[in-house]
Structure 1
């Protein structure tokens, strides 16, 4: 049996208790009797530990009433939660051993709820067993209940996101050490992965090195393709720092001077990304930020080459709400953190993307990534 250590920096007990209290209130506002939070980022947000997703049920019960929250754990997993200040949080801990029915434990603690909300990422193995155990209760998702809590970051969360952004910027600043003709994407990616950890992350969550035609695939990984003179290379990288908050930044590089049509298209992309960032402010909608980038690309005849949303929220997850996309009329609020990352993708030929993490401030926007946005030309 192996797993990543659960012992990572966590907020203080007062912060966590306030989050649990807000979760209670949010559940009540949503006419939900209890939240059932399994291992993952929601659990880490509420108690400071993410736990692990295994075949044995681990779940935090957060009632909407004044009843005591309960952390139900397999006995063999309990030591991994030793750092959780359960007494200070007012959380009971109930352990179970193989042969006992943990779903019945949950049902007994809940009583006769009319509606419960389970973690969005809870395994179906547990969701269906809980549905059977808590017979008669409507089962919904906890994500819509918790999203209002997690979308607007507090000062400590924003400080962690700034540290993550600074760390990934330091990696991009070193790209000239690794990105050159004759090396494969995989070789460059291995160097980047090592640097991501060296610059302050716990690990690299993703490393995209898309050279030449591979750059036209937004979620390319790395491959054995050899980088050639004249290639345009999309490098999208990120991961968590010890506090659990993530970086995510994309820059596009040219190995030697790019063709004129690529340089022209990239200049439009840069204007589009800058316009989207300028649109970010309290009260603007996610749709308006997306449109600011998309309209410029469309006017230049590049709209059909922009094939994804403009951005996604970031925090304890790399992708979380708010989603910066067409049709999302969510008004932006101070403390929201998300990417602004328009791209253009010429299938079979090349691609380019520019991505910064930004934060909505009281009167505008704070970009957390500060590397230059120009197409970086490296020696061929």
Structure 2
């Protein structure tokens, strides 16, 4: 455990001062000044190659599934295929913006009114059209008519492929399914197509992801800095938002930070609870950062950075044992069932407080595969780890009456094993 600094906390400084009072802050924030944002080192050519690779993956899967076109409504899938982003959180629950990849044909973005200029210059975008929205929010009693007009346009584009009437769709409202089926379209499950496409990363994607993780770790350094007595949970969490937003990041998928008694049971989101000295502060970043990539990291430390109690230390070491054991298993060709058979076994006293997932994929968000912890594995899907997958290794350890320790690391499956992409230290470092 790092010794507590003599200087007062950030709350006693002006934000613009550059006082590196902790090795984590000095390592992970901008060395030119803590008040300055990190500067992206990503070259334009890297981004261009990543864009081309991602669209090629989509088109490969489109051919494998023998589909005439792929209709996308999920903003993460649209970002993956086209690198086009527009109000991702809002459009995730308002189906007003969509895209279509036609087999052997164009990639088309359908933007809502006034946003067409956002897609100019994107290499995968062959055409921009005005979206035909038909949600009740906008259409009221005209939903059925407008859904029909929308479906007519989609059917014409599917027919232009000259292939068949199989349309893969990642997500769609029921009225849209009905309208397309009425017009003779055979709807194919598109999530398998998109998840499998996204699962294998290119070297350029890994470079983009490393940068998002770098930004996330800078946010974590700020969180570490302000984890002092008297702070509310949500004040600590806000430091991650701050660093992500000013570095060009997108959003945080959750608000999973809790302290002290609120860590157990897990899944309390941050609140106005005032953190006390010695409380365990545990969190899961779930951060969609620069270039749309996800940094999904978890750490736990004590408020005030005081020495852990004996129980906190015992729980922490148990969680770290799970991380190290499961991480050492990962390699290409290992099936999910083989991983489960060799995976770390959670002690009985922790089973009722377990996290259900042992490892999962990550890219532009949490992705396929999802490998459950051994007590739950019989519900798991099949498959195997492959080179150039990015996998998160998870641990949540608690027992009756204790706090929870949450740890998680993000790794690249290499030809010979697994490489950790995050470097932010564990507490025993």
Q: What is the TM-score of this pair, normalised by structure 2?
A: 0.73
Structure 1 stretches of 5 or more lacking a match?
A: 1-8
1:138 and 2:177 are equivalent in the alignment: no
Counterparts of 1:200 and 1:93, CA distance in 2: 24
Query: Is the CA contact (8 Å cut-off) linking 1:287 and 1:328 kept in structure 2?
Result: no
1:1-380 mapped onto 2 (5 Å cutoff) = 16-17=51-52, 19-38=54-73, 40-52=75-87, 53=91, 57-64=96-103, 66-74=104-112, 76-85=114-123, 91-95=126-130, 101-111=149-159, 113-120=164-171, 122-124=172-174, 126-132=176-182, 135-197=183-245, 201-255=249-303, 256-289=306-339, 292-295=342-345, 297-298=346-347, 301-317=349-365, 319-325=366-372, 326=377, 327-346=380-399, 349-374=402-427
The count of residues paired between Structure 1 and Structure 2 equals 358
User: What is the aligned partner in structure 2 of residue 5 from structure 1?
Assistant: none
CA distance 1:172–1:69, change in 2 (3 Å): closer
Counterparts of 1:238 and 1:96, CA distance in 2: 30
SS at match of 1:173: helix
CA distance 1:222–1:152, change in 2 (3 Å): same
Counterparts of 1:243 and 1:173, CA distance in 2: 21
Counterparts of 1:344 and 1:205, CA distance in 2: 22
Deviation at 1:359, TM superposition (A): 0.6
Counterparts of 1:274 and 1:283, CA distance in 2: 20
CA distance 1:225–1:94, change in 2 (3 Å): closer
Deviation at 1:288, TM superposition (A): 4.5
Deviations 1:13-71 (A, max 9, x none): 6654554444333223223332112251211222220345386754333234x344444
Deviations 1:221-259 (A, max 9, x none): 111222223322212224233311121211111244434
Stretch moving more, 350-359 or 211-220? 211-220
CA distance 1:58–1:192, change in 2 (3 Å): closer
Query: Is the CA contact (8 Å cut-off) linking 2:213 and 2:422 kept in structure 1?
Result: yes
Deviation at 1:303, TM superposition (A): 3.4
CA distance 1:182–1:21, change in 2 (3 Å): closer
Deviation at 1:157, TM superposition (A): 0.8
Query: Is the CA contact (8 Å cut-off) linking 1:294 and 1:303 kept in structure 2?
Result: no
Deviation at 1:339, TM superposition (A): 1.0
Counterparts of 1:45 and 1:10, CA distance in 2: 17
User: What is the aligned partner in structure 1 of residue 138 from structure 2?
Assistant: none
Counterparts of 1:21 and 1:188, CA distance in 2: 41
SS at match of 2:363: coil
CA distance 1:347–1:182, change in 2 (3 Å): farther
Counterparts of 1:236 and 1:55, CA distance in 2: 26
Counterparts of 1:42 and 1:273, CA distance in 2: 30
SS at match of 1:243: helix
CA distance 1:348–1:124, change in 2 (3 Å): farther
CA RMSD of aligned residues (A): 3.1
Stretch moving more, 218-227 or 16-25? 16-25
CA distance 1:186–1:104, change in 2 (3 Å): same
Counterparts of 1:12 and 1:177, CA distance in 2: 33
SS at match of 2:114: helix
Structure 2 stretches of 5 or more lacking a match?
A: 1-43, 134-144
Stretch moving more, 150-159 or 215-224? 215-224
